[in-house]
Amino acid sequence: MKHRFFLKFAGLALAASTLGACASHPESHSTPAHASVAQETDAAAWRAARRFALLSFGRIAYVERGSGDAALFLHGAPLNGFQWRGAFDRLCDVRRCIAPDFMGLGYSEVPEAQALDAAAQVDMLAALLDSLGVSQVDIVASDSGGAVAQLFLVKFPQRVRTLLLTNCDTEPNSPPPKVMPVIELSRAGTLAASTAAWLTDPAMARSTFGAAVFQNPDTLTREVLETYASPVVSTPKRQAQYHAFHKALLPNPLAGIEAKLLRTHVPVRIVWGQSDDIFSNEDAHYLDRTFPGSQGIRFVPGGKMFFQEENPDIIAEEALRLWKAP
């Protein structure tokens, strides 16, 4: 029964040489950063570019491309930094793009006792940026990564130049009700098994999880599913941490944050998948009302929670607009 419940509600190529193009030729602008690219980064190229920062939190996986001012890309669950590959392809000519994997997700490796709640993720990100010599960032965030972004902003306001938020948690809606079944599966210790089923039955993954969070579930190709699911189910330890990550979504990590957000002054742009029924359009309006520096909302017709992966041109266009704003 729990497995069927999860299936209903879990709604929750570039070659390797091309992946390094921005790093090798940081001044090259032969392809406008906001334009579609001829080839998209694939899983093999992303994997080849993955590095690990040795921090007190563990070995934190990240991919970095480009040079100059840094942009930090924060992924959703159960994804990892690979979510932002299309944005990297379009923006690495104008930013030093950095996409870490959160602790408990993706390819980061942390000790068994490491806390995985949003506050711990904030401290990990600060340590990662310190290790990379980055003092200030433009943040682009999705889903639970958006909650971490908001907490990072209020704890380290001097380290954030701009904030681009896509469908994500807000204080009144964190975690959203439709994520509760996933948390319950984590508490029962069965979420990892349900996720592992994606690897043997990609069609099921697309028709359940994919249909809930993508406008086009075919975005979840076999290689994409393997990139997201394989690391979190690879060992008993990783499965336990995958469960712990989701259990740490309660209590509400954003409780009491609104008053602090009302005192922030960074430029904020909100880009929202309009057909998302996990993070509703009201969540976007809430953020627009709450951030004094909001530059408004762009709704993406038909977009669901993870529209960023399907529409990297939109992310690039809005990021460039935000970053150029006075």
What is the pLDDT at residue 30? 34
Count of other CB atoms within 10 angstroms of residue 267 = 18
Per-domain residue ranges of the chain: 2-26+36-324
pLDDT at 77: 98
The pLDDT score that the predictor gives to residue 102 is 99
Q: What is the pLDDT of residue 39?
A: 76
Q: What is the pTM of this model?
A: 0.91
- Provide the pLDDT for residue 323: 98
How far is it, in rounded angstroms, from Cα 155 to Cα 253?
13
What stretches in the chain show pLDDT beneath 50?
1-20, 23-34
Cβ-based neighbours of 253, under 8 Å, separated by 6 or more:
117, 118, 119, 147, 151, 169, 174
Distance CA 302, CA 214 (A): 9
> What pLDDT score was predicted for residue 34?
47
| 150 phi and psi angles, rounded to 5 deg | -65, -40
Q: Residue length, the chain?
A: 326
Give the span between the Cα atoms of 79 and 73, in whole angstroms.
12
- Domain range 2-26+36-324, its CATH number among 3.40.50.1820, 3.90.1150.10, 3.40.50.10860, 3.40.190.10: 3.40.50.1820
pLDDT at 21: 53
For residues 299 and 274, is the Cβ–Cβ distance under 8 A?
Answer: yes
248's CB contacts (< 8 A; 6+ apart) are 104, 115, 116, 117, 118
Which pair of tokens denotes residue 115? 């806390």
Tokens of 285: 């309006």
